[in-house]
């Protein structure tokens, strides 16, 4: 069967009801998912696992978002979004149904540079970066479009954190990139609407007209304030944490698990776990 050509950017009604599955099938799906959540095995250091069990009385697990927050159906840059919620909201609903409300560590994952797969605003886009930071597992796709690369966009990432309701800690990846790409920078503000913009206001979900207007403004925006931490990965980690007002808990310096460092185990992270040690979202 031949697939139809990729659709053009679609529009949605200004308000669209959330479609929920009803009946016995939905109940069975929820029960199965709750069972899987309760049965998740803990990961990490054995002593940390035992401490988590003792403190929280439950097993540790991870829930990972499938797409970035800036593709969220209500908070993303409409119409270049997915038709689903990509914030913490769905994960926290599932945890609450499984009896784990309020136990999750809300972990935001971010690179040292900003990317986008397909069309839509990418204010810091720089074609040179795509050549200097090749992406072996992400390329041009029939449906997604081109994989695009830009400098770290502190304005857009801060907006993503805000629409999520904040994060408890950050995982900063690609900390090896600044050494390979000395020109990598951080954009602190835009030139937009004839003025300097350092903050994008977040609105309540449901207003796609507002999001479409924001998209139009961002497509005309240009970076206006730059700085760079240089090639030092520690300086980059600190700069990203400061830009997003969150402590860095995890760092990644390469493509494998062996390249990941847990700053909490070295005492370098400012994150204080409290009782949020059960589930990582």
In a shared domain, residues 117 and 40: no
CATH code for the domain of 128: 3.90.170.10
pLDDT in tens, the chain (281 residues): 454 455 454 444 444 333 333 445 555 555 555 555 555 443 443 433 433 343 345 556 788 887 899 999 999 999 999 999 999 999 899 888 888 888 889 999 999 999 999 999 999 999 999 999 998 888 888 888 999 999 999 999 999 999 999 999 999 999 999 999 999 999 999 999 999 999 999 999 999 999 999 999 999 999 999 999 999 999 999 999 999 999 999 999 999 999 999 988 766 666 655 545 444 45
Domain annotation covers residue 230: yes
- Is the same domain home to 229 and 137? yes
In a domain, 248, yes or no: yes
Residue 281 falls inside a structural domain: no
Residue 16, domain member (yes or no): no
Helix axes 89-97, 24-38, angle to 10 degrees: 90
Same domain, 79 and 181: yes
What's the N-to-C CA distance of the chain in angstroms? Answer: 38
Give every CB contact of residue 56 below 8 A, 6+ residues apart in sequence.
103, 275, 277, 278
How many domains would you assign to the chain? 2
> Does residue 141 sit within a domain?
yes
Q: Are residues 37 and 162 in the same domain?
A: no
The confidence score (pLDDT) of residue 63 equals 84
Say whether both 50 and 93 belong to one domain. Answer: no
Query: Is the residue at 157 inside a domain?
Result: yes
Structural domain that includes position 40: 29-62
Is 39 found in the same domain as 135? no
Most distant pair of Cα atoms in the chain: their distance = 57
Residues 49 and 73 in one domain: no
My answer on whether 94 and 159 are in the same domain is yes
Cis status, amide bond into 79, omega within 30 of 0: yes
Are 95 and 111 members of one domain?
A: yes
**Do the domain assignments include residue 13?**
no
């Amino acid at each position: 069967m031949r697939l139809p050509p990729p659709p053009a950017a679609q529009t949605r009604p200004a308000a669209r009801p959330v479609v929920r599955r009803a009946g016995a099938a939905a109940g069975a799906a929820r029960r199965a998912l709750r069972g899987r959540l309760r049965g998740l095995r803990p990961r990490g250091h054995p002593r940390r696992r035992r401490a988590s069990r003792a403190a929280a009385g439950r097993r540790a697990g991870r829930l990972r978002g499938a797409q970035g927050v800036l593709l969220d159906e209500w908070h993303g840059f409409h119409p270049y979004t997915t038709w689903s919620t990509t914030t913490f909201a769905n994960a926290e609903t599932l945890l609450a149904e499984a009896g784990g409300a309020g136990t999750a560590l809300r972990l935001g994952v971010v690179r040292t540079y900003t990317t986008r797969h397909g069309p839509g605003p990418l204010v810091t886009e720089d074609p040179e970066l795509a050549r200097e930071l090749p992406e072996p597992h992400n390329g041009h796709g029939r449906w997604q479009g081109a994989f695009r690369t830009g400098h770290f966009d502190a304005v857009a990432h801060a907006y993503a954190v805000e629409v999520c309701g904040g994060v408890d800690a950050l995982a900063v990846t690609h900390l090896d990139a600044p050494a390979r790409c000395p020109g990598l920078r951080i954009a602190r503000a835009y030139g937009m609407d004839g003025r300097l913009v350092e903050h994008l206001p977040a609105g309540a979900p449901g207003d796609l007209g507002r999001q479409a207007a924001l998209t139009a403004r961002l497509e005309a925006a240009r970076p206006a304030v730059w700085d760079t931490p240089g090639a030092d990965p520690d300086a980059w980690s600190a700069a990203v944490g400061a830009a997003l007002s969150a402590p860095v808990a995890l760092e990644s310096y390469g493509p494998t698990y062996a390249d990941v460092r847990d700053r909490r185990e070295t005492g370098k992270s400012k994150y204080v776990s409290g009782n949020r040690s059960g589930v990582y979202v």
